[in-house]
Structure 1
Amino acid sequence: MARIVILGAGIGGVPMAFEMKEMVDKKHDVTVISDTPTFHFVPSNPWVPPKWRKPEDLKIELAPVMKKKGIEFIQKAAAKVDPINNQIQLADNSTFAYDFLIIATGPRLAFDEIPGLGPNGYTSSVCHVDHAAIAAEDLDKFMQNPGPIVVGAVQGASCFGPAYEYLMILETELRNRKIRDKVPMTFVTSEPYIGHLGLGGVGDTKGLLESALRDKTIKWITNAKIDKIEPGLIFVTEVDEDGNDKKKHELPFKHSMMLPAFTGVDAVRHVNAEGLVNARGFVLVDEYQRNKTFKNIYSVGVCIAIPPIEKTPLPVGAPKTGYMIESMVTATAHNIADELAGKEPAHKATWNALCLADLGDTGVAFLAIPQIPPRNTTWSAEGKWVHLAKIGFEKYFMRKIRKGISEPYYEKLILKLLGVTRIKEKGE
């Protein structure tokens, strides 16, 4: 009997556990190790600061769900992965051995790379539900004494969608409160242009998002490098297309949310085992989601290494969207099951990008098949239906997680909502 361990219990780790258990049933043990007792639905975090959602709305207790599925759940932080000895050292100095390890930790949020960045500095974050709860407190104070707002993503960031979402959700909330006229808003991003999204743009995302910002009288700065953040002031260097300094900006703010760059988590990035991770601590995988050096280690989600889509003046990472992660999970479950049956891995993730970006009272959706150009399908659209679709998907996803149901969440629901099933089936 093999012991299959999943490290992490987020958007990738929890569906991974469900699908892996269904593939191997009672023949093999499946264990989830997580530093938190709850699953968090990260895509809805931007709704927490304006109190469109409560933090508890986005959390699910994992122990009872895992028990019902016959999955062992260990709520302990991992100190270090030891791929040489096939074990994980936990924070309490105990160890846990594995035959197969699936790393699904998500990223480390690299706030430390820019002075003053993050909840321990002077800006807010929506990368974690607990950070979003802190942002809600800051926003409450802001509403009593409004002023300039600065939202965006720093150099090296790879997840830009939540920045656009948070910006436009706040804009909608300010209009609802009848105080939008008191709040100058600026979007600051390391992207070379609005709507790049780390993907080189998808369809007309450049035009759609530029139009949305113009319509709401929101200023923007692209190719923006954040130098430091002080109380109420962000220091920005705008660079030219060659990456040379072009203009300096000092942006005052009363409230700011800036997405950080990511690295691998400490338990993985500090491992002294060549070939497991890259220089930023992201897990190196082949086309089967398997590490080439340690072949009993697989990885899914934001913690894997993917090269940038293209060269840009400032570092811009490639995002790992939910649809893409879902395909990694399915491929990994089938490949480990094949290995246990004495076969070689043969299943590959599709790595398609599908995103529903809520813009407060409307939204932008885009689909890239595959995510990395050149693409077979490039599509984008806008409308209030995107806002409503994202609300529906949140409810659907959370209900399935609570029930411990493994299925292609994005494949079954979002493609129907977007009306692009025909595109996928015909391969257009």
Structure 2
Amino acid sequence: MTLPKIVILGAGLGGTIAAYEIRAAVKGKADVMVVNDSDDYWFIPSNPWVAVRWREPEAIKVHLPPVMAKKGIGFTAVGAKRVHPAENRIELNDGTSLSYDYLVIATGPDLAFDEIDGLGPAGFTSSVCRTDHASDTADAFDRLAADPKPVVIGAAQGASCYGPAYEFAMIVDTELKRRKVRDRVPMTFVTAEPYIGHLGLDGVGDTKGLLESEMRNRHIKWITNAKISKVEDGMMHVEEVNEDGTTKAKHDLPFGFSMILPAFRGVPAVYGIEGLTNPRGFILADKHQRNPTFKNVYSLGVCVAIPPVGPTPVPVGVPKTGFMIESMVTAIAMNLKAELGGQEPVEEATWNAVCLADFGDGGVAFVAQPQIPPRNLNWSSEGKWVHLAKIGFEKYFIHKIRRGTSEPFYEKLALHALGIRKLRFK
């Protein structure tokens, strides 16, 4: 008898753990296969460390084919050219097609550097969004340290990931101090957020106060409500707007080194498919992570469409943190198990947030339950312990991917951070 086929599109943080957890949930009732555009998994949260040579790229890489084979999961790194949900088919990059009974989309985002003239690795700014980007950024950082010049770091309009920008600004500050050149490097933080510490979440606890204080202590100036209009070689043009969207000031920021996080959009394989995606190419999903039009398509992670927490003068997206992604994975695994048993999906993801923002010599942690306000739990803290916790987090999670385990992690992290053993994020 031919078993139903579940295809997972993407093998980043969400797709990889989804493969493990779905396989464990449906074992014997369906075949599970992963389609990715690379043989390797990269631990993206460590990219800021790669960009200042605190990590080598190989240290955060997991070669997936042998792990997937050991777990009985099919795997191909050919990559997807286009999803055809009306036909239950994925068109692959080698010209072949792969049919499925259920599809789980976990592609992550397409990086929209091209939406701002001169932005990104193909232009004049660096990136930590991918590990190969971060490796190139390390070369640019070495040139900065050898020939100190002004630095501009931040997140562009429409970005939906802010933690790594704050992390990288602080890490750069720390490493420049270690190299004894910080006093020769003026730093400016540029962000679309309406205030420092907004994070796309309208703040968590006192992230505004904590991050503003940290930036003052490190002599980092900032511009909020910022639109980057254009980047030229050594010069960034930024428009700062008022609450009503009118221009407040225009800034021409000279730089010798810059890292700006871009806006995200859906990947080309899904972008513009009516009923599947929103206008930005993000996957539409109901409370069970299932697409309303194509009922056998689920989605998780950064590729999922989530509306902003509220209007802001400059567009600000909502981040999809690891805790939220892990809860999406569990909900999908349970819902697929139910569907294969002839039942309707009932599981819902617990959209809570846990974040460790490492600053190299300290850091800020926060827990939000739920991620989008109003919240039942709204907590943030700072200290050297965050830096140590981030190191432990990296080691544990990479080990988890290498072992192919589906055990949950982020709830344990939240409980450890809070020091509360009886709390459960349900």
- TM-score category (smaller protein): over 0.9
Q: How does 1:279-294 map to 2 (within 5 A)?
A: 279-294=279-294
| Cα distance in 2 for residues equivalent to 1:167 and 1:325 | 25
In 1: Cα distance, 2:419 partner to 2:165 partner = 26
Q: Which aligned pairs between 1:11-410 and structure 2 lie closer than 5 A?
A: 11-271=13-273, 274-410=274-410
Q: Tell me the CA shift for residue 182 of structure 1.
A: 0.4
Q: How far apart in 2 are the matches of 1:360 and 1:244?
A: 37
CA distance in structure 2 between the partners assigned to 1:23 and 1:423 by the alignment: 25
Q: Let me know the Cα RMSD of the aligned residues.
A: 1.0
AA aligned opposite 2:324: M
Identity within the alignment, %: 62
Q: Deviations over 1:243-297 (max 9, x none)?
A: 11110000000100000000000000043xx210000000000000000000000
- Which residue type is aligned with residue 254 of structure 2? P
Q: CA deviation at 1:413?
A: 3.4
Q: Contact conserved, 1:300 with 1:328, CA < 8 A, in 2?
A: yes
Q: Unaligned regions of 5+ residues in structure 2, if any? A: none
Give SS of 1:219's match: strand
- The separation in 1 between residues aligned to 2:275 and 2:373, in whole angstroms, is 26
1:363–1:386 Cα contact (<8 Å) kept: yes
Contact 1:185 1:218 in 2 (8 A): yes
Deviations 1:325-380 (A, max 9, x none): 00000000000110000000000001101100001200000111001111111000
The one-letter amino acid paired with 2:293 is T
1:151-210 Cα shifts (integer Å, max 9, x gaps): 000000010000000000000001111111000000000000000000000100000000
CA distance in 2, matches of 1:195, 1:139: 25
CA positional deviation for 1:145: 0.5
Q: Partner amino acid for 2:300? A: V
Unaligned runs of 5+ in 1: none
Aligned-pair distance for 1:144?
Answer: 1.1
Q: Aligned partners of 2:215 and 2:14: how far apart in 1? A: 32
CA contact (8 A) 1:393 1:414 kept: no
Describe the SS at the equivalent of 2:159. Answer: coil
Does the CA-based 8 Å contact 2:415-2:423 persist in structure 1?
A: no
- The answer (yes or no) to whether the contact 1:237–1:247 under 8 Å persists in 2 is yes
Give the ranges of 4+ consecutive aligned residues of structure 1 lying more than 2 Å apart after TM superposition.
412-415, 420-425
Pairwise CA distance, 1:422:
3.9
The question of whether the paired residues in 1 share the 8 Å contact of 2:367 and 2:414 is answered with: no
Give the aligned residue type for 1:337.
K
Counterpart in the other structure of 2:416: 416
Deviation by residue 1:297-350 (Cα, 9 ceiling, x = unmatched): 000000000000111000000000000000000000000110000000000001
Specify the SS of the correspondent of 1:195. coil
Query: What is the CA–CA distance in structure 1 between the aligned matches of 2:418 and 2:383, rounded to whole Å?
Result: 11
The CA distance in 1 between the partners of 2:163 and 2:420, in whole Å, is 21
- Cα distance in structure 1, aligned partners of 2:400 and 2:227: 40
Comparing 337-346 with 138-147, greater Cα deviation is found at 138-147
User: Cα–Cα, structure 1 residues 200 and 421, in superposed 2: closer, same or farther, change >3 Å?
Assistant: farther
Cα deviation for residue 421 of structure 1 reads 3.8
Native 8 Å contact 1:122 1:231 kept in 2: yes
Deviations 1:79-100 (A, max 9, x none): 0000010000011110000000
Q: What secondary structure sits across from 1:266 in the alignment?
A: coil
Change (3 A) 1:420 1:316: farther
Post-superposition CA distance 1:190-234 (Å, at most 9, x none): 000000000000100000000000001110000000000000000
- The 10-residue stretch of structure 1 (85-94 or 135-144) with the greater mean CA deviation from structure 2: 135-144
User: Offset at 1:27?
Assistant: 2.6
Give the 3-state SS of the residue equivalent to 2:336 in structure 1: helix
**TM-score in terms of structure 2 length:** 0.98
Aligned mates of 2:114, 2:420 — CA distance in 1: 41
SS at match of 1:380: strand
Once the two structures are TM-superposed, the CA of residue 423 in structure 1 deviates from its matched residue by 4.2
The count of residues paired between Structure 1 and Structure 2 equals 424
Kindly state the Cα deviation for residue 414 of structure 1 after the two structures are TM-superposed: 4.1
Once the two structures are overlaid, the 10-residue window that deviates more, 133-142 or 293-302, is 133-142
Q: Is the CA contact (8 Å cut-off) linking 1:80 and 1:270 kept in structure 2?
A: no
Kept in 2, the 8 Å contact 1:111–1:261? The answer is yes
Secondary structure of residue in 2 paired with 1:290 = coil
C-alpha distance in 2 between matches for 1:215 and 1:304: 37
Cα distance between partner residues in 2 of 1:69 and 1:301: 22
Q: CA–CA distance in 2 between the matches of 1:206 and 1:134?
A: 31
